[in-house]
Amino acid sequence: MRAVDNPKNPWRSAHTELLAPEPLHAPQVFEEEANSILSENDSPDVPFRFAVNPYRGCHHGCAYCYARPTHQWLDFGAGTDFERKLVVKVNAPELLRRELGRRQTELQAEVLAFSGVTDCYQPLEASYRLTRRCLEVCRDLRQHVGIITKGALVARDAALLGEVHRAASAVVHFSIPTDDAADARALEPFAPSPERRLAAMAAVAAAGVPVGVSVSPLIPGWNDHRIPSVLQAAKAAGATYAWMILLRLPREVLEVFTTRVQEAMPLRADKIMSLLGQVRGDGGLQESRFHQRMRGEGPRWQLAADLFALWCNKLGLKTRTERPQPPPRPRQRGLFDAGS
């Protein structure tokens, strides 16, 4: 990896600006020539097999992000390093084109997930445009695409996503755990506001791309009472489905999350941590077992799950288990065929 630190270019015709408050310490950016771009997942809890992550680390700095420990593979930390030391895979689009072509038979019926362990529409994307270029590859090679993001920048690519959807299929999941701007800023300090995410959702939906909302993670005492208002706002912005999972606190994330809650919401911290213990059943805060780690138990969890189901039914939102798989391609049609 090589660090990036350049003077301002007076001849540059475009400029970027943050959609959220600037961090106290400027992020440090590293560029790398990656060896591969497709990562494969075999977890029964995750609804995709292959993922593309053009970046490592995430500027949004969400305290609860389950991906934080992956930064330690780079000999960085899972805390502030995750949001301040960001890695850019500068050859991601070229790698994706090569790998999709090489594994045509294996991948043509799969949904390629963007943002398995990072947000593909974090602020770096405004300058590097790697996600956009990867989507152009998916459009050209008719690859099914699924995106999960908090980034309002996805609205820039609404028309392109429409082209991907017409060539194969595309769907965009917006992570909006709460529509309370102050609560969002407390635990998602550098992510776009819920209002901006909803506006981006409306823009993508207007381009004819299916959109949904993830009311996740569910954190009792923080956002469970916001379930109805989030679902109503998402429906008004064009969402057709919704899903929700319970907060996971693997390894070092527990320390990061606990510290952030105590600093940002000191009057609610004890209640939130106590309720988390209750919905985990045994009073603990960590759960790593498959089929158990993304859902809770007990009265508090059941109340949230019932409230979610009630409002999804009322609004006509499909739930995650009802979300359709990508349409099958005819066997005789190749990945590189013309037309749609």
Q: What is the pLDDT of residue 92?
A: 97
Of these ranges, 76-80, 265-269, 285-289, the one predicted with the greatest mean pLDDT is: 265-269
Place of tokens 């963007």: 114
Classify residue 43 as exposed, middle or buried by CB count within 10 Å of its CB (0-12, 13-18, 19+): exposed
- Share the mean pLDDT of the chain: 86
Distance, CA of 132 to CA of 135 (rounded, Å) = 5
Q: Judge whether residue 335 has pLDDT over 50.
A: no
Q: What is the pLDDT of residue 94?
A: 97
The reported pTM is 0.86
**Percentage above 90 pLDDT, the chain:** 67
Q: Judge whether residue 12 has pLDDT over 60.
A: no
Q: Judge whether residue 258 has pLDDT over 50.
A: yes
Confidence of residue 108 (pLDDT cuts 50, 70, 90): confident
pLDDT in tens, 322-333: 444 455 543 333
DSSP string, 203-215: HHHHTT--EEEE-
Q: What is the pLDDT of residue 158?
A: 98
Sequence-distant (≥ 6) Cβ neighbours of residue 125 within 8 angstroms: 54, 55, 131, 132, 151, 153
pLDDT in tens, 208-230: 999 999 999 999 999 999 999 99
- Please tell me the least confidently modeled range out of 16-25, 55-64, 134-143, 169-178: 16-25
Q: Judge whether residue 46 has pLDDT over 80.
A: no
Q: For the domain 25-321, what is the CATH code?
A: 3.20.20.70
The whole-number average pLDDT for the span 234-243 is 97
Peptide bond into 54 cis (omega under 30): no
